[in-house]
A and B are shown apart, each in its own frame.
Chain A
Amino acid sequence: MALSQSEVLAGLAEIVNDETGIATEAVQLDKSFTDDLDIDSISMMTIVVNAEDKFGVKIPDEEVKNLITVGDAVNFITAAQG
């Protein structure tokens, strides 16, 4: 069964926390991965691959550059679960 947007956000926040140590509460929909959360490209790719595993979705490499904010990623994952 597909997860809701808030469930995806919570799951993604755990992945971000595990990779970077950033508090899960700080991972909010309007936050930019690079500008607000200071996540580099290497951590971003690790987060993407872990998100694919966790949510059972495929996030193509060419799509990753469009995931500017946490909300972008949550929306993509929520839709991809479809």
Chain B
Amino acid sequence: MSHKIVVTGVGATTPLGGDVQSTWRALLAGESGISTIEADWVSGYELPVTFAGQAKVAASEVLTPQEAKRLDPSSQFALIAAREAWADAGSPEVEPERLAVEYATGIGGVWTLLDAFETLKERGPRRVLPMTIPMLMPNGPAAAIGMDIAARGGVRTAVSACASSTEAIANAITRLQSGEIDVVVAGGCESGIHPLPIAAFAAMHALSRNNENPAGASRPYDTARDGFVMGEGAGAMVLETEEHALARGAKIYAELVGGSVTSDAHHITAPDPEGTGAARAVLAALKQANARIEDVVHINAHATSTPVGDIAEYTALRRVFGEHLDKIAVSATKSSTGHLLGGAGAIEAIFTVLALRERTAPPTINLEHQDPAILLDVVVSPRKLPDGPILAISNSFGFGGHNAVVAFRSYN
């Protein structure tokens, strides 16, 4: 038998807030989490981009110094988000062998890797910390969470660039549906606001260069959009079989009804302009949900604010939904948070779940002149969603031609 899957806990640390509630409130208030980076290395390296979505609450304010010392910043964010989600779910009692982790990152421990290389060059191999490898490995965040909650049912890491954490959530579905696992902590994290990733993303002209107006730089669907804005942080959700959640009287946010992954095989970075792979991913998620396209009332779009990416996603959505797309409330929350790369899908899945639970689609800020080629009903101030059973999807696409989509349904 196939088990229903429900969301019973959420956790996040983002450029808008150090937890889910403060992040969600700031998002609904239309705030921007983007600001100028106040670090010496910005001017030291003469970086062409001087701003980002930096975590609102530093991880060092939450973790003990000893915890932080053994974790890359990406894992620090991951642990903070996972602990919040776990506590929010009521710290469920579950057999360790039936508890799993599906937790993603886009880049991995880039701070640890590059700091260790500096240490090697300046001070020699003996000064390279013995924790360097476990801190830099991309499965480090998942492993840290798994140890924290004693998950022995498997700890896995999806790595598919900016689609990573949506893929991680999708990967949880089969494990829970089959009944082999009762509870999964899923999500993703990133800590890439480091001079090298900034220089490298800037080299491919992927980043906005609106240094004079950081808060207005992430502007999905706007005619003046000129690239994405890097963000950092993490999101985590506790996913559970409905049976297990009901048996322990857990509060239920929403039902996870679909998750799918496709690939373009088109170009290493450019999206397929026809949006074929993305469209297949959306359709597959809806098919898994046993839903009709008319059931979808809200989309949390990938919408990174790049000139080509926003159009490619629109093209894919139009292929799938046809005229019904005009009736769907579309939110591009990266306008407020920036792009958390491997953490993006996780926080956006949380926003999607909260939108269903509170029947409110969050706003898209900085939309002043909507691109006439993108005919979407973009939510610019919080909008009420319909009563009754409703369905929403969250899209993520990544360099490498990765497409990942998850679908959630309102619960009661």
Contacts and interface: CB of A to CB of B under 8 A. Distances in A.
B64 interface: yes
B66 A20 contact: yes
B66 A21 contact: yes
A21 B126 contact: no
Contacts of A49: 126-127, 129
B130 interface: yes
Contacts of A6: none
A3 interface: no
B130 A42 contact: yes
B131 interface: yes
Contacts of B65: 18, 21
Contacts, number: 18
A19 B130 contact: no
A20, A41, A49, A52 interface centre (most CB from chain B within 10 Å): A49
Interface in A9-27: 18-21
A79 interface: no
Interface residue tally on B, bucketed by range = under 10
A68 to B, nearest CB: 19
Nearest to A18: B65
A45 interface: yes
Contact of B131 (A18, A20, A42, A52): A42
Contacts of A4: none
A46 interface: yes
A46 B129 contact: yes
B64, B126, B129, B130 interface centre (most CB from chain A within 10 Å): B130
Chain B contact surface mostly:
helix
Contacts of A41: 130
Contact of A21 (B64, B127, B131): B64
Interface of B: 64-66, 69, 126-127, 129-131
Interface of A: 18-21, 41-42, 45-46, 49, 52
A46 B64 contact: no
Contacts of B127: 49
Nearest to B65: A21
Chain A contact surface mostly:
helix
B309 to A, nearest CB: 42
Contacts of A20: 66
15 contacts: A18-B65, A19-B66, A19-B69, A20-B66, A21-B65, A21-B66, A41-B130, A42-B131, A45-B130, A46-B129, A46-B131, A49-B126, A49-B127, A49-B129, A52-B126
B165 to A, nearest CB: 28
Contacts of A46: 129-131
Contacts of B64: 21
Contacts of B66: 19-21
A19 B127 CA distance: 15
B371 to A, nearest CB: 52
Contacts of B126: 49, 52
B130 to A, nearest CB: 5
A20 B64 CA distance: 10
Contacts of A21: 64-66
B124 to A, nearest CB: 11
A21 B131 CA distance: 16
Given A21-B65, A42-B130, A46-B131, 4 more contacts: A20-B66, A21-B64, A46-B129, A49-B126
A70 B127 CA distance: 22
A65 to B, nearest CB: 15
A21 B66 CA distance: 6
B64, B65, B66 interface centre (most CB from chain A within 10 Å): B66
Contacts of A52: 126
A58 to B, nearest CB: 10
A45 B127 CA distance: 10
B75 to A, nearest CB: 15
Nearest to B126: A49
A44 to B, nearest CB: 9
B22 to A, nearest CB: 28
B355 to A, nearest CB: 41
B365 to A, nearest CB: 42
A46 to B, nearest CB: 6
A52 B130 CA distance: 15
Nearest to B66: A21
A42 B130 CA distance: 6
B152 to A, nearest CB: 20
A27 to B, nearest CB: 14
A57 to B, nearest CB: 13
